[in-house]
Amino acid sequence: MLFLLSLASFYVFVSIFSDGAESEARWKIFAVSLVATMLLYSPAGKSPLLSFAIACLAAAVVSLVGLIFWIKVTKLQALKITGSYIGFVFGSSLVIGLIFRAFGVRSA
């Protein structure tokens, strides 16, 4: 569920911060969103915090490159979109994790 919410949030942030790019490149936005979200939700390693930090960095790079060079938004818009997206994913993951912990569920 959180995966789909993250996909949708990327599109919402693109539609908020870009100047009409979402109407011309919907499938491109979906592709960049899918790759960035898959990078965020596929970290595996011995250190979960380090894995998440590396995944955030990789998703941010993919998002910035895709937005600037493929979807053709400005650098400032791409930074706003990427920062909002990574912040949203981090915040929602934290809130969902705290909710699950409060109810005694170990993993989400």
| Per-residue pLDDT reduced to its tens digit, 21-64 | 777 788 999 999 999 999 988 876 567 778 888 888 999 999 99
**Residue 74's pLDDT band (cuts 50, 70, 90):** very high
Tokens representing residue 50 in the block: 């380090």
* Average pLDDT in the chain: 87
The dihedrals phi and psi of 18, each to the nearest 5 degrees, come to: -100, 165
* 77 pLDDT higher than 90: yes
* 107 pLDDT higher than 70: no
Domain boundaries, the chain: 2-102
DSSP 45: S
Please state, in angstroms and rounded to a whole number, the distance separating the CA atoms of residues 27 and 31: 6
DSSP 76-93: HHHHHHHHHHHHHHHHHH
Residue in 104, 35, 41 with CA at minimum distance from that of residue 64 = 35
pTM of the model: 0.86
